[in-house]
Structure 1
Amino acid sequence: MTTVNKRYTLTQSQKMMVFILSMSLYGLSNMITELVPSVYFGPIEFSIEYFAFIPLTLCILFHPLYAAIGASLGEVIFGEIMLGQFGGFGELEKFIAFSLAMYVAGTFVRDPKNKWQVGTAAMLGVIIHQAISAMVDILKVWVGVEELEAVPGLVESVVVIEGFSFLNDVFFSGILFALLPTLYLVPRLYGKIEPLLGMKPRDRNDRYSLGEIIGPRLIVTGILLAAVAFFFEFLSESGINLVEWEVDFLEMFGDWFIWVSLGVALLVAVITITFMIKKKSKTNDTDQQKEKIPS
């Protein structure tokens, strides 16, 4: 396991920058998806679920844990809190499921230049996230904390509805907004964006067995986190929330308020990238001065 740990060696400040960058960029993309209308066919919704390629790319190129948590927090901050909508424990279910999915996808890739690994990781992340969400929704109906609006009284139909929604999200949003962009961006950005932000690229020549990366510990942890996600969603649907904030700025000020959250996310992303580039420039200047000093 020591070789795997070396793979993601970053300083604390670099980890924080990855966290903030992932939070702001994914929060920004989340606001863009809010502006795209959905299409409904009965109870089935066709929509852009998310631009998953952003956290996937960051998780693969940088530290998967900090990038995954940052993206999940970005959705909560810019997509919920800044719009006056915080659902308490219900948000924790989304946070845990998405963080887990992106983290697993990021750790799966051993060589960012290997398109097979990158593509598999992209779809794996989407499948894990959508599978957890679908299972939570199914269990909510089966347990009885939520009614199925599509076919009242027919609990079994939730499996069909959620199954179709799962396939739609995986094959529509998963392929168009996760697989294809990630396949394009990761191999091209690898080795180029990291030095620009003052970080060393991951060593693609290192080889790890799949068991070292996705082993029993990660699988057991994933199952436990999925169970915890359902537990928090169960509490939320049962009306048990320690913290719940419902102001709904969109109703108060109109749909244009989405642009406020979008603008803040963009500003945070620009400031973060600018700071990282300036820090890289200062480091280069310091190194050059040291080289000029005779020993």
Structure 2
Amino acid sequence: MSQTTASDERAGRIRGTVAGLPRDLSASQKLMVFVLAMALSGVANLVLEIIPDVTIGPVDVSVSYFVFVPLALVALLNPFWAALGAPIGEVIFVDLLMGDFSGLAEVEGIIQMFLALYIAGSLVRNPRNRLQIAIAAVTVVVIDKALSALVDLSKVWIGVEDAEFVEGLPESIILLEGIGYAVDILMSGILFGVIPAIWLIPALHGRIEPLLGMRPRVPGEPIQGSAPRNALFVAVAVALSVASFLFAFLEAWDIELGVFEPEWLDTYGPGFIWVGIGAAAIAFLVGVALARAARGKSDDEN
């Protein structure tokens, strides 16, 4: 271990504040992180709506999400609240406002992405360590898409959904899921995950947190809001994964609770995306206002 790293770890254990900023977040700061994660992830996913998907035979070659956006938030800020806000932002600003809301079935995606981001954000002990960032970026896609693939295979196995076979090769469902999984890791995990994240996160570390009235993450200290490393968390994660499966089956069983699908994007064209962007911008401004209030309160206390 280098002398600098050892010094950082010692400082991380003994210092309660950095530049007068407390380590523990207030309730308003947690809400601020949640709102900012909602807004930024919502805008990022709205941009994806105007990018056409490419299909090569039975394989869909597309970008599922810009991993680097929510990853930067969970790696720099509170992992729990950022991980919770990111998928909810996608549901609100993309699915609901664009008129493609599947009701309770949306909970599947929220749970899966929350678990993926929460675990990935907790892996980044040092936001300037590019190896940790790269591992976290791939982890997001590996967990999210693995759970999604298991849901798809379970639907076919139970018989509530027809499989998409290659003609003459019934066993190809496993092959197609595997190819799709690899494409997602390459496109979302590496191209739009690792590559921008290893540049963006170190560049923002130590700069964005004080603006939000928060203390930058210090290598070696416990990360507030990170995933606990014990059997209880594993049990809770497994329980949430099973719960996401149950919500996924609601749609397959034609149980439509809270479904809202006027398909406004198809009706009014791509220009309707600006409605979602405008709503996300308002949410972002609310987050900025909360940040300013939290920073002002921190300055007053110091």
Query: Alpha-carbon deviations, 1:64-117, whole Å to 9, x = none?
Result: 111011001001001110011111232111111000100000111222222222
Query: Alpha-carbon deviations, 1:102-149, whole Å to 9, x = none?
Result: 000011122222222222112112211111111111111111111124
Give the TM-score of the pair, scaled to structure 2. 0.85
Matches within 5 A, 1:51-62: 51-62=66-77
Contact 1:8 1:63 survives alignment (8 Å): no
1:200 deviates by 1.1
SS in 2 for 1:86: coil
Q: Which residue of 1 aligns with 2:144?
A: 129
Query: Alpha-carbon deviations, 1:215-243, whole Å to 9, x = none?
Result: 32222222221111111111221111322
Give the TM-score of the pair, scaled to structure 1. 0.87
Structure 1, unaligned stretches of length 5 or more? Answer: 289-295
Q: Which amino acid letter does the alignment assign opposite residue 194 of structure 1? A: E
**Does 2:283 align with 1:235?**
no
**Does 2:162 align with 1:139?**
no
**Does 2:233 align with 1:202?**
no
Q: Percent identity?
A: 40
**Does 2:238 align with 1:223?**
yes
Q: In terms of mean alpha carbon deviation, does 49-58 or 268-277 score higher?
A: 268-277
Q: In terms of mean alpha carbon deviation, does 190-199 or 234-243 score higher?
A: 234-243
User: How many residue pairs were aligned?
Assistant: 280
**Does 2:195 align with 1:180?**
yes
Q: Which amino acid letter does the alignment assign opposite residue 247 of structure 2? A: F
1:282 deviates by 6.5
SS in 1 for 2:60: strand
SS in 2 for 1:40: strand
In the alignment, the residues of structure 2 paired with residue 52 and residue 64 of structure 1 have an alpha-carbon distance, to the nearest angstrom, of 14
SS in 2 for 1:141: helix
In the alignment, the residues of structure 1 paired with residue 137 and residue 103 of structure 2 have an alpha-carbon distance, to the nearest angstrom, of 29
Matches within 5 A, 1:60-139: 60-139=75-154
Distance 1:207 1:224, change over 3 A: closer
Contact 1:61 1:202 survives alignment (8 Å): yes
SS in 2 for 1:195: helix
Distance 1:48 1:8, change over 3 A: farther
Structure 2, unaligned stretches of length 5 or more? Answer: 1-12, 17-21
Q: Which residue of 1 aligns with 2:4?
A: none
Contact 2:29 2:290 survives alignment (8 Å): no
Q: In terms of mean alpha carbon deviation, does 48-57 or 234-243 score higher?
A: 234-243
Q: Which residue of 2 aligns with 1:44?
A: 59
